[in-house]
Structure 1
Amino acid sequence: MESKRAFPSQEGTGAFSKDIEKGREAVPFPSTTISSTEASSYAHTQSSIWQKLKQWNARFEAFTGLESRGIARVLPSERQLITASSYLQIALLWISCDLTVNSITLAMLGPLVFELSFKDSALCAVFGVLIGCLGPAYTSTWGPRSGNRTMIVTRYFMGYYPSKICCVLSMVITLGYSTINCIITGQLLSAVQGGGMPLVVGIIIVAVITLIVAVVGMKAFHTYERYAWIPQAIVFFVLVGSAGPQFDTSTPSVGNKTTIIGHRLSYLALCLSSPLAWATCAADFFVYYPPSTPKRGIFLSTYIGNALAFCFAYLLGIGLASGVAQNPAWATAFSSSQGALILAGLSGLRGFGSFCGVILALGVIADQIAATYSSALVLQMLDRRVARVPRWLLTCLIVVIYTACALGGRNYLFDIFQNFLALMGYWVGIFLSIALEEQVLFRAARSKRVLSSEREAGEFDDGYDWDVWNDWRAVPVGLAALTAFLLGWVGAVVCIDQAWYVGPIARMVGRDGADLGLWVGIGFTLLTYPLLRILELRRFGR
């Protein structure tokens, strides 16, 4: 039975919470010379307007039932109870987010762009998923432990101000994926209508539905994700039965041995990047679970849910792409759009196939909601003044931004996939390397020195004091992490292989090069961070 205290949204939880208000900057006065009386009157007017806006927002959120909490920490007393069914809910949430047509479309790049065989593509995709899903499984455990959102926890590794770089990059990831989701949905809906529905209309449809659920907040989000996977799974199996006989599992990969190896590495990194990107927001969805929640349970539920969904969707996308060379009808559909290719796999079902296409298109919304919800929270972390803006209003802004990007880039989906997703995976891998070394090499040692009474009181957790999340003087300075982060990027840049730039090391592999940026970037970071962190601790003591 679910707790009635789930997802509180009452006093002390909003974007206007006391934690945020303490850091509010004073409103600057005009540069002209004014008397003390005028200054006092100006300040009083500003304060009065601010108070009225807060009161109006509180009444609006209470009337509409919107989640009022922003980035303020969820205290242990505000958490919901966790039951055995909660772990199933976590797995289903991730299945709903990942068992979507955008995962199918990404996997198509194996046969269509990297010219890999079905077998090579499938192996790279599955191994990429198994590695990439470790990232969100790890960061998801931060939610119950800390009560803080994912990018807030980065302050304990990167420092208060350097962590804002991660916030900006996280925004880029979520906006990029949201743009892709809108385009794919528009393509599918347009293909269902035989091209009669403009792509623009489909993009707007998914944006509006996403906005409604994301604005309401966490409770609506969890409810939606609990059931969204069901129609998706049914249609996926229908697509397997309809299109499976046309999959080409015998044609070999194209190129000599070194070229194929390079393509395998590049495609592996691409397939890894998509699940890995969830690491930037995985904790956001579980901050209402109690600190006593077993980390192993959260980790396994997240890992299994992500891995099952991504593997199923990737293999289906690889199969569809493999059949393009042998099936003229599929080749014609692909020349129109990736969405049309997916619908071609259902063409044998006639009207029912079109209905399945609509279900697939709307299924992308489950993924879109999660990204949109987290984006608004990340935006609040960039600046204290932005943090005072209500979450629901920032959500509206986020939706407007990625809808505009989708409308502008609707004809360049494959370019966005190939040049954007792998690049974003670099920084997530580099950041996770810093977080793991900080926890294993430094925080774990500190935790052993903390008195058992302090740990039992909940003041510390593995060397972290989660109550100081908004105090820049209580978290690491961040110089070591920032330096290691930048050095990791240096390693990534010299090994990058993208359409717009190929690093000197990357071009040495095969005919077309290989994208080694993720692996080398992680290696540079792992080697440099420990020494830099030791020097930082000796100099600053935190």
Structure 2
Amino acid sequence: MLTSLSGPAVYYLPFLDSSLCAVLGAILGSIPVAYIATFGPLSGNRTMVFTRYVMGWWPAKIIVILNLIVLLGYCIIDAVVAGQILSAVSPNGMLSVIVGIVIVALITWAVSTFGYSTFHYYERYAWLPQLIVLCVLAGVAGPKFDLYGNPSEGLSERTIVGNRLSFFSLCFSSAITYSGTGADFFVYYPVRTPRWKVFSVTLAGLVISFAPMFVLGIGLTSGLASHADWSAAYNTSQGALVVEAFRPLGGFGSFLSVVLALGLIANMIAPTYAGGIDFQVLGRLFEKIPRIIWNTVGVIIYAVCAIAGREHLAAIFTNFLALMGYWVSIWIAIVLEEHLIFRRWRKLGWNWAAWDDRSNLPVGVAALVAFLIGWAGAILCMAQVWYIGPLARLVGEYGGDVGPRHGLVQLLDQC
């Protein structure tokens, strides 16, 4: 939901345009995640361990570091929003955003530290109260959604197209960045589990999670122009906007806001758990340090960063997500080439037992060069606040972010 707030508020897109871009981005971005997930039962390896077979022993470490940035970055965003909601709910803001961030970080650490079984049990039931709360939010805030307003009025057609591309890229990146952990939660499945089943349930789960929430977030910011109370709350923080939307319910609305804030913990547990394992994949020395230590390090890092960046969430979100989408798209293209051309077509196969044997893994020179070439294309096509590439600049006043798709297509075209 947080991603889609940018549709009307940042990119000046009307409700329909924002919804179409967001849902399409969610669907297309979820397909690579579902594809990567199929390697979980097949290999028995975590996603970043599997990356060693694709990128090589040393280049894979670059991918691991980038994936850690993604995982910790998501936790930063969720921690800030949860802290904002808790602060907005508290009487006269007595509970600061900083304290709220610390609370959710500590709870996340506790659940993720006790291993996969505890995490899986928590996630099995945590979605239900969230679903109820979000349905109530849609019901109470829905009448204030501006379904027919046009915030892009006055902008040129090319600028509108560029904004559509950029918002689509943001939603696409929001989904595809889950690819870095796609296989992690299927490694305990039987090796004979049909790949189409893993693909289908992963794709369905992601799309069902993303699409309605994107539309709900778009609805909230679509009403900013016509409702001064919502606009004032949004200017305070994204979390305050959610609390304001619940305001007609009085004290019950405050309770639902707290439930929603604590529900963000469920979104933080998976990245925290996976991040602890990814730290160990960095090398043999890192491998010897217990996961509980790495989980603790990860929580400290994102809690400190969340506290430091709590006043700049929108800027962090729009720049961070799109930037992370670039490398994931390039990496996905390399995985496709490795799997379909070298392993399947040339019948080289996979030796899954060699996951920790450097001598039986690729050197990775070709993969590294391909990765850098993909980045060169992405730089030409990216559109960020701090940089607009020469190709992206051709689309409208603010540019159109086509970096993630270009990086992927450019690499596939090399085949």
Structure 2 residue corresponding to 1:136, chosen from 13, 33, 37: 33
String of CA shifts for 1:222-245, please: whole Å, max 9, x gaps: 101100100000001100110000
Instruction: Give the equivalent residue in structure 2 for 1:217.
Output: 115
Equivalences, count: 412
Say whether the 8 Å CA contact 1:120–1:253 is kept in structure 2.
Answer: no
- Please give the alpha-carbon distance, in whole angstroms, between the structure 2 residues aligned to 1:246 and 1:166: 43
Q: How far apart are 1:527 and its partner, in Å?
A: 2.4
Q: What's the secondary structure of 1:248's corresponding residue?
A: coil
Q: How far apart are 1:249 and its partner, in Å?
A: 0.7
String of CA shifts for 1:300-337, please: whole Å, max 9, x gaps: 11110110010111000000000000001101111111
- Please give the alpha-carbon distance, in whole angstroms, between the structure 1 residues aligned to 2:393 and 2:276: 39
Instruction: Give the equivalent residue in structure 2 for 1:125.
Output: 22
Q: TM-score, normalised by structure 2?
A: 0.98
Residue 491 (structure 1) aligned with residue 377 (structure 2):
yes
Residue 390 (structure 1) aligned with residue 294 (structure 2):
no
- Please give the alpha-carbon distance, in whole angstroms, between the structure 2 residues aligned to 1:118 and 1:162: 42
Q: How far apart are 1:253 and its partner, in Å?
A: 4.6
- Please give the alpha-carbon distance, in whole angstroms, between the structure 2 residues aligned to 1:134 and 1:174: 19
- Please give the alpha-carbon distance, in whole angstroms, between the structure 1 residues aligned to 2:5 and 2:320: 16
Structure 2 residue corresponding to 1:467, chosen from 350, 353, 359: 353
- Structure 2 counterpart of 1:190, one-letter code: S
- Please give the alpha-carbon distance, in whole angstroms, between the structure 1 residues aligned to 2:176 and 2:103: 28
Q: What's the secondary structure of 1:497's corresponding residue?
A: coil
Q: How far apart are 1:445 and its partner, in Å?
A: 2.4
- Structure 2 counterpart of 1:490, one-letter code: A
- Please give the alpha-carbon distance, in whole angstroms, between the structure 1 residues aligned to 2:239 and 2:307: 16
- Please give the alpha-carbon distance, in whole angstroms, between the structure 2 residues aligned to 1:138 and 1:516: 22
- Structure 2 counterpart of 1:471, one-letter code: D
Residue 339 (structure 1) aligned with residue 225 (structure 2):
no
Q: What's the secondary structure of 1:501's corresponding residue?
A: coil
Identity percentage over the alignment? 47
- Structure 2 counterpart of 1:335, one-letter code: N
Instruction: Give the equivalent residue in structure 1 for 2:272.
Output: 372
- Please give the alpha-carbon distance, in whole angstroms, between the structure 1 residues aligned to 2:233 and 2:94: 15
Q: What's the secondary structure of 1:160's corresponding residue?
A: coil
Say whether the 8 Å CA contact 1:253–1:260 is kept in structure 2.
Answer: no
Runs (4+) off by over 4 Å: none
Q: How far apart are 1:473 and its partner, in Å?
A: 1.9
The farther-off stretch of 470-479 and 126-135 is 470-479
String of CA shifts for 1:454-473, please: whole Å, max 9, x gaps: xxxxxxxxx11100011122
Instruction: Give the equivalent residue in structure 2 for 1:195.
Output: 93
String of CA shifts for 1:275-305, please: whole Å, max 9, x gaps: 1111001211111111011111111111101
Instruction: Give the equivalent residue in structure 1 for 2:9.
Output: 112
Alignment of 1:200-279 (within 5 A): 200-254=98-152, 255-279=155-179
- Please give the alpha-carbon distance, in whole angstroms, between the structure 2 residues aligned to 1:492 and 1:268: 16
Residue 311 (structure 1) aligned with residue 197 (structure 2):
no
Q: How far apart are 1:366 and its partner, in Å?
A: 0.7
Say whether the 8 Å CA contact 1:167–1:382 is kept in structure 2.
Answer: yes
Structure 2 residue corresponding to 1:418, chosen from 307, 318, 322: 318
The farther-off stretch of 177-186 and 514-523 is 514-523
- Structure 2 counterpart of 1:482, one-letter code: L
Instruction: Give the equivalent residue in structure 2 for 1:479.
Output: 365
Structure 2 residue corresponding to 1:294, chosen from 194, 197, 206: 194
Instruction: List runs of 5+ in structure 1 lacking aligned partners.
Output: 1-103, 450-462, 531-542
Q: What's the secondary structure of 2:189's corresponding residue?
A: coil
Q: How far apart are 1:524 and its partner, in Å?
A: 2.0
- Please give the alpha-carbon distance, in whole angstroms, between the structure 1 residues aligned to 2:233 and 2:172: 27
Q: What's the secondary structure of 1:152's corresponding residue?
A: helix
- Structure 2 counterpart of 1:147, one-letter code: G
Instruction: Give the equivalent residue in structure 2 for 1:170.
Output: 67
Say whether the 8 Å CA contact 1:189–1:202 is kept in structure 2.
Answer: yes
| Larger relative contact order (CA 8 Å, sep ≥ 6) | 2
Structure 1 residue corresponding to 2:77, chosen from 171, 180, 198: 180
Aligned residues: CA RMSD: 1.0
Higher helix share: 2
Instruction: Give the equivalent residue in structure 2 for 1:158.
Output: 55
- Please give the alpha-carbon distance, in whole angstroms, between the structure 2 residues aligned to 1:334 and 1:500: 23
Q: What's the secondary structure of 1:108's corresponding residue?
A: helix
- Please give the alpha-carbon distance, in whole angstroms, between the structure 2 residues aligned to 1:106 and 1:192: 22
Q: How far apart are 1:440 and its partner, in Å?
A: 1.0
Instruction: List runs of 5+ in structure 2 lacking aligned partners.
Output: none
Residue 523 (structure 1) aligned with residue 409 (structure 2):
yes
String of CA shifts for 1:190-245, please: whole Å, max 9, x gaps: 11114221001100111011001110010001101100100000001100110000
- Please give the alpha-carbon distance, in whole angstroms, between the structure 2 residues aligned to 1:353 and 1:275: 29
Instruction: Give the equivalent residue in structure 2 for 1:427.
Output: 327
- Please give the alpha-carbon distance, in whole angstroms, between the structure 1 residues aligned to 2:317 and 2:220: 17
- Please give the alpha-carbon distance, in whole angstroms, between the structure 2 residues aligned to 1:526 and 1:446: 17
Say whether the 8 Å CA contact 1:192–1:358 is kept in structure 2.
Answer: yes
- Please give the alpha-carbon distance, in whole angstroms, between the structure 1 residues aligned to 2:184 and 2:245: 36
Instruction: Give the equivalent residue in structure 1 for 2:184.
Output: 284
- Please give the alpha-carbon distance, in whole angstroms, between the structure 1 residues aligned to 2:263 and 2:36: 25
Q: How far apart are 1:394 and its partner, in Å?
A: 1.0
Q: TM-score, normalised by structure 1?
A: 0.75
Q: How far apart are 1:141 and its partner, in Å?
A: 1.2
String of CA shifts for 1:137-187, please: whole Å, max 9, x gaps: 111111111111100001111111111110010011011111111100000
Q: How far apart are 1:523 and its partner, in Å?
A: 2.1
String of CA shifts for 1:43-65, please: whole Å, max 9, x gaps: xxxxxxxxxxxxxxxxxxxxxxx
